[in-house]
Structure 1
Amino acid sequence: MRPVDLQVVIPKVTEVSKNQQVLKDAGEAGQSIMASQFQEQLRVMKQKVNLPPKAERLQVTPDRRENREREKDKNREKSRNGRHVDLKI
C-alpha cells in the first residue's frame, strides 16, 4: 500500500470497527432474547397438562363391559316392571 492510501484507510478503520462491534452486539442481543423466550416456552410447556385425545383415553376393560351389561339389565327390568318399590322393614 502506498502511504497516501494509509492516510485514508487508518481513520476509516476505527469507523468500521465501531460498526462491526455494533453488529456483533446486536446479534448477541438477538440470540439472548431468543434464548430467554425459548426458556419461557419450556417453562410453560412443563406446567401445562397435556391430555391425550378422548379416543385414546377410553379403554373398554372386561370390568366396564360387565358393569355396562348389568346396568342395561337393570334398566330393562325397571322398564318391564313399570314401577318398582323397595321396602325395608
Structure 2
Amino acid sequence: MRPVDLQVVIPKVTEVSKNQQVLKDAGEAGQSITASQFQEQLQVMKQKVNVLPRAERLQVTPEKENGKREKDKKREKSPHRNGRHIDLKI
C-alpha cells in the first residue's frame, strides 16, 4: 500500500470497528431478550394446569367393566339372539 492510501484507510478502520461493535452488541442484546422471554414462557407453562380432553380422561373402572360383562351375558342368553328369530316390518 502506498502512504497516501494508509492516510485514508486508518481513519476508516476506527469507524468500521465501531459499526461492527454496535452490530455485535445488538445481536447479543437480541439473543438475551429472546432467552429471557423463553425462560418466562417456560415458567408460565410449568405453573399452568394442563386439562386433558374428555376422551383422554375416560378410564375403565372395575364397576364399568363388570356392568359391561353383565350386559354381554344377557345378550348371549336372549332367545332372539340364537339365529332363529327374524324381525320383519311391513
Where 1:59 maps in the other structure, the secondary structure is coil
- Cα offsets for 1:35-88 (capped at 9, x unmatched): 000000000000001122110101122213557xxxxxxxxxxxxxxxxxxxxx
Partner of 1:16: 16
Where 1:52 maps in the other structure, the secondary structure is coil
Partner of 2:6: 6
Partner of 2:39: 39
Where 1:49 maps in the other structure, the secondary structure is coil
Quote the Cα distance in structure 1 between the aligned partners of 2:51 and 2:64: 22
- Cα offsets for 1:7-45 (capped at 9, x unmatched): 000000110011001000000000000000000000000
Partner of 1:28: 28
Once superposed, what is the RMSD of the aligned Cα atoms? Answer: 1.7
Point out where structure 2 has 5 or more consecutive residues left out of the alignment.
68-90
* TM-score between both structures, scaled by the size of structure 1: 0.69
Quote the Cα distance in structure 2 between the aligned partners of 1:4 and 1:18: 23
Moved over 4 A (4+): none
